[in-house]
Structure 1
Amino acid sequence: MRELARRTRFDHAYLSRVLTGKQRPSSALADAVDKALNAGGDLVVLVDAPPPSDDLAETGDVLEFMRRAETSDLGAGTLDVLGGAVDQLCRDYPTAPGPVLRDRSKKLLSHALGLLERRTTLAEHRELLVHVGWLSALLGCVHFDVGDRLAAETARKMAHQLGEQAGHGEIIAWAYEITAWFALSEGRYQAVVAAAEAGRAHAGISSGGVQLLVQQAKASAKLGDDQAHRLLGEAGKMLAQLPATDQPEHHFVFDPDKLTSHGATAYTWLGWDEAAGEYASEMADRYQREYRPMRLATARLNLGILAARRGALDEAVSLGEAAFESERRSGALTSWARGMLSELEDRYAGERLVVDYRERLALEAGGDR
């Protein structure tokens, strides 16, 4: 009752009289409780309707609704612990081995789904949906990283549905972003644009919104469209509107370095070699000091493509091979590496180093990650 009094800003004593049937609830109270419990107008209709012959029965309906809305089997702090665990897994994403992160995330998901089967208040139920939504989005990414495309899509769809049920636009936006990521790594660039535009309708000004812009920029670059540069500029402007983060490693939090990393890839694909080289070199230098293996691998592939374009075959192949050094790999790594192989084959067809790199890539693509 204290929580309801705080959220509705009605006097605790007044609420007590209503709950004990000593006083009829006012329309203002019904409206406040309806909003606090996300009842969708049901309480307002119930209280404002013409009184039936038995006023006490009507009051009892309201009391029963309020009682059920406040009934919960969750212990104090349960949702805080769950939310903290989900956040930790999201922060582990850049560095934890894919199979390890997958198994830990699946275990937590099983526990969270069990909580959804217990009695909760309406507010608790929505918060649970949000936590499970983020966890499902994470699993979509991790399943893709370890090569399980079907499980990845299943988790992505689950995140989308949970986002809709919770009314959480950014979770929906990230579900679209994952679709865009899959399509980008599979060479379906128009599908990337479609997913990015659909996701941005839900994202608002958020990390998900920035990520969708950069995915669309990269697809545009692959299509040879200079609007990639404009989209990166829009992403930068949106990022500037977000509060500075103290969790740059969180997978669903967009940090400034991420924009530089994506920019290096987009400019490499677009053929703007000078800008691409500046960005990719900055990322390679930074992530040789800081352990961010997936970003380092991407920077090395971008630098490898640029080396190939300027005639440095040995350097290009060396960088391309170095991209596979870490156990922690993005599900898109082999796709980006195939892009580099295509660049090598266009310029150095028949060279032994190119043949060796093709064989290395075939081995990596067929390996169990």
Structure 2
Amino acid sequence: MIEVAMLTREVTRVDYSGAPPVNPQRFTMSDFADLARRAIRDSGYSMKAAARAMNYDPAYLSRVFSGKQKPSANLAASLDALVGADGALAATVLNEDEESRVARSAANPSRLDAGTVDALAGVLAAYRRLDDTVKPESVIPATVTQTKEVTRMLRGARGAYRDQLAEVASEWVQFSGWLFAQVRKDAAAVGLLNDALELADEIGNGTLAAQALNFKGYIARQQNRHQGIARWFSAAANTPGAHPAQRIGDFLQAAAGMAAMGELDSALRMVEEAEGLTDKAAALPPPETAYWLTPAFNRLNMGLCTLELGRYREAADHLRSGLAGLPEELRDAPWSWEHKDALRRAVAAA
């Protein structure tokens, strides 16, 4: 955890002022090298063993892992398959056109174009998917770098696409906060989520604002602070512009906090509010910035809520169904461990 602690201090010292020193190579070599090296290690491979498994020259692999050579598309795909990242690792690398666009925008952020924003959003989407299969500690270093690069670009951005880049930047900052929350670097996580919230408010994006508040509720739950759980999830549920699927999950998790404090009437009213949003949420796809908010995922939230209400059999049913309903690639994600533990407690108490 020493490395993570050092990165935490680095994040809290980020200076967004001055000309944005964005380096497109960050998106093609250095960060991919770091992600791939850590993913290989987490999967139990040495570099030589990985080279043998993929039938690649160890010297070539060494150059890629050290950030001295850009990975070929075939190598990126092979590494991805080796660690079981389901395409996410390979998708963190920009293609030539995307790299060229990012380079132009890096050199002159005032002439930011839509292609650059799309490219940076695509890298972020890949990182989010990678978080579902790789340990958060292994995603943090490259994420910190990416977040600093994108927010610095935003500092100098002008024109019609500036707000779109602000959305992507808010997501990057929020994602960094989420990763730090997972490894219990709570102070750094809260600071990042506050920054993400400010960016979301600046552009009036209720979905992003609600998600940042949701993650603050998650931190409160890890700290076993019931009042904080109720406060932050309630704030998320009542954020203007929040998606109905977000509001369902947030009301249920706020209700869990209220129930834990003995405020059962308030908790049950929140459950009713969540249930009243079911049809509205079902009529809409999940928000792109919170793609995991499916009906199955909200069964998990209902499970956490009914567990705190003392309805143990009902909680076990919701948690069991929610876990079974997750896509296969998400069933062993580190964030799912909390729900698996809740299921064990519900079964034991039933």
TM-score (norm 2): 0.60
Query: Contact 1:283/1:299 (CA < 8 Å) preserved in 2?
Result: no
The structure showing larger relative contact order (alpha-carbon pairs under 8 Å, at least 6 residues apart) is: 2
Q: Does 1:165 align with 2:202?
A: yes
Candidates 194, 197, 200, aligned match of 2:231 = 194
Partner of 1:282: 321
Query: Contact 2:286/2:292 (CA < 8 Å) preserved in 1?
Result: no
Deviation at 1:271, TM superposition (A): 0.9
Candidates 135, 149, 171, aligned match of 1:111 = 149
In structure 2, give the amino acid aligned to 1:162: L
Describe the shift of the 1:229–1:275 C-alpha distance in structure 2 as closer, same or farther (beyond 3 A): farther
Query: Contact 2:229/2:253 (CA < 8 Å) preserved in 1?
Result: yes
Deviation at 1:282, TM superposition (A): 2.2
Q: Does 1:177 align with 2:214?
A: yes
Question: Superposed, which structure 2 residues align to 1:83-162 within 5 Å?
Answer: 83-121=121-159, 123-162=160-199
Partner of 1:343: none
Deviation at 1:216, TM superposition (A): 0.4
Describe the shift of the 1:124–1:190 C-alpha distance in structure 2 as closer, same or farther (beyond 3 A): same
Distance 1:289 1:73 in 2: 41
Query: Contact 2:154/2:169 (CA < 8 Å) preserved in 1?
Result: no
Question: Superposed, which structure 2 residues align to 1:324-363 within 5 Å?
Answer: none
Partner of 2:57: none
Describe the shift of the 1:166–1:299 C-alpha distance in structure 2 as closer, same or farther (beyond 3 A): closer
Partner of 2:293: 254
Partner of 1:13: none
SS at match of 2:239: helix
Partner of 1:352: none
Structure of larger gyration radius: 1
Q: Does 1:270 align with 2:315?
A: no
Query: Contact 1:210/1:254 (CA < 8 Å) preserved in 2?
Result: no
Distance 2:327 2:285 in 1: 22
Q: Percent identity?
A: 19
Deviation at 1:251, TM superposition (A): 4.3
Distance 1:149 1:219 in 2: 19
1:138-172 deviations in Å (ceiling 9; x for gaps): 11111011221121011111101111222222222
Choose 234-243 or 216-225, whichever is displaced more. Answer: 234-243
1:54-85 deviations in Å (ceiling 9; x for gaps): xxxxxxxxxxxxxxxxx942245111111222
Describe the shift of the 1:83–1:98 C-alpha distance in structure 2 as closer, same or farther (beyond 3 A): same
Distance 2:133 2:259 in 1: 28
Partner of 1:303: 343
Partner of 1:41: none
Provide structure 1 residue ranges, at least 5 long, that are not aligned to the other structure: 1-70, 311-369
Describe the shift of the 1:292–1:80 C-alpha distance in structure 2 as closer, same or farther (beyond 3 A): same
Deviation at 1:208, TM superposition (A): 3.5
Large movers: runs of 4+ above 6 Å = none
Distance 1:210 1:262 in 2: 9
Distance 1:222 1:133 in 2: 32
Query: Contact 1:73/1:118 (CA < 8 Å) preserved in 2?
Result: no
1:100-156 deviations in Å (ceiling 9; x for gaps): 2222322221221232243420x3221111111111111111101122112101111
Partner of 1:231: 270
In structure 2, give the amino acid aligned to 1:260: R
Describe the shift of the 1:223–1:290 C-alpha distance in structure 2 as closer, same or farther (beyond 3 A): same
1:243-287 deviations in Å (ceiling 9; x for gaps): 443789x64652111111111122122111221122123235456
Instruction: Name the count of aligned residue pairs.
Output: 238
Query: Contact 2:205/2:241 (CA < 8 Å) preserved in 1?
Result: no
Query: Contact 1:214/1:235 (CA < 8 Å) preserved in 2?
Result: yes
Query: Contact 2:286/2:294 (CA < 8 Å) preserved in 1?
Result: no
Distance 1:295 1:108 in 2: 22
Distance 2:124 2:254 in 1: 28
Describe the shift of the 1:222–1:125 C-alpha distance in structure 2 as closer, same or farther (beyond 3 A): same
Provide structure 2 residue ranges, at least 5 long, that are not aligned to the other structure: 1-108
Query: Contact 2:114/2:161 (CA < 8 Å) preserved in 1?
Result: no
Candidates 225, 231, 240, aligned match of 2:279 = 240
